[in-house]
Structure 1
């Protein structure tokens, strides 16, 4: 088996070729990759079925099984995401700022690829395609290290994508799937500071903390998504209920699913019993503070741990608050800087909520489930950063490039030179 450093070096060399590809060739490549996934759908779904069967035998929970599972619709969505990325503007070579200095030199800031991106992820086979599309369109190479639970799915998807690369004359080492899943191999990958430019872990909090604690390369961190919805005293309660059900029930295993509901005391008696009934109809367990328990009999008393939890399941923590300020204080104490929602008809309250919180995404009268790169116009997303590095929030193409300075002169020198 080829050692990880050799694979990474090959990826770096291939990335230099990808960085020089014109936009048209990159877009055509992504279109071909989407077509390859569709052509190989039967083989990919068969491989995924093997992963699902093995995961069930290992007792893997429902949330991870949902992330692991592919079907015709999800695979079609993956192919569609590749085409959406192909249609996006190419950030590589974009001049973001230019000025002429008093001495006549022209200073430009130009977007260039990062280089080699290491993706460390669990369960989500769609990441194999999404990461490949985004990294290649942004002129990078990508090293994909998925989890053992999705190995057959990842192999099948990577094989399709790499075939399209070879047919397009693009070095397929720019997309490197690590099949040696030993922990020591991942540790070695995370030490390659002279080869790997950025690591992006996607998965449970344990995986992300492990990567962050052991990596010597820069890491984009997103520990968990403790997303809140606050129902203000002025809220349209029908809207609040609609956003709550979408945010909690549509896909509870997603990181942008709601985990905590905060309700202003002035509307709690009207809103909570109805909301609880609708949630329970859909199998959601409620855990609440004393006032919630009094208003909704049968609610399990909540602990401080519940308010800090990313359940990734049909469970939600609930609290009645006295004011907007108390809601903001709660989010500041228990939030994870991911996504927060306010439901309100008061523009001043909406403005204060937005300005008082530092979370990566803040929604006003919109579902937390829109906190997603595709929904926010990025095409597929490479991940969501809750760390203030060079990118914050959902990360798309631009986040996989950096600005450098290009200076154009006509012989200017900073100091007089004797010739």
Structure 2
């Protein structure tokens, strides 16, 4: 009997030992990473390498991420899950508003897929100019993403000349013809304010907003001469005295410095001039018989660029950009008329737009863009055209201007070129032009 009891006890001990050993040696079950489909939004104007967002997944182990299906290799993903625009790539809202890629996340044992959607946000494009209404009146107009808003009443001819967007506020300058004289005006979010009383001719040609201050460049007349002026918050400062004719065509604020550009006519002809804090600098040399400056831009490194035209004795008007006062000719002036209307600097790249008369075969004005002096032809010379303004945002280059739609009738279409591709924003049988453009 004792032997039976000992045998039973021994059997129980063995069962316990073997049972414990089996449980202890069983491998732990791996829990797969958890990742959901995710969505991001990014501006179309971002540059290569710009971060789009970080993918989110959960697991007890360290995770690694990879792209399994890319969209034209547009995107890059680090092992840590940081998603960005790939090197050498750009986005374009006009081409694709959405991109879809697939990714995988792994904990070293288990891999889980997910779908990632990248939504492209379009640049907001503001353009100003004018278009003729059915009564034949020129109406000052603001286009926001191609949608037109009339700024003037359509009873008096009016023209918008420049636009600047600061936060949610849209500032537009221009002039309204009261029957005899031009009245300089500024619109803020569509509400007009008179800068002059209309008793004499005046024009508000350019606007720049710095902080809470609004600067406008233009001219006023005293009945016998035109005076270059800058308004700061509607308070006028004369840049020239009544002994000469002058006008300011552009304004730019860099830090505490206020730059204006235009011309002074000393009797022999207009002389391109840039004013810094009211002090004028003549941009022409002795060989130039006439010159006008139309636009000014100050780079991040405080280089001052001015666009306009020069004309030497015996030559034609020549499209010109000045860098710190040194003239760089963009057209040759030998029988071909040219002019530069606007300059914009992005990083180390200098963009200028204007026109050049194509002497053969049709002798038409051709809209042109110069980047660091290298020209891009925007129109084919079939009809007259002019590029009036340039704005660069990220990788996108926007140009505003117009092209005639007929060689026998005075009809013009307002056009915005984006990276060289033209988009007409008015009817071909109308009469409209763009004078300035702003993008954000």
Which TM-score band applies after superposition, normalised by the shorter structure? under 0.3
> Which structure is higher in strand share?
2
TM-score, normalising length: structure 1? 0.23
TM-score, normalising length: structure 2? 0.22
> Larger relative contact order (C-alpha < 8 A, sep ≥ 6)?
1
Which structure has the greater CA radius of gyration? 2
> Which structure is higher in helix share?
1
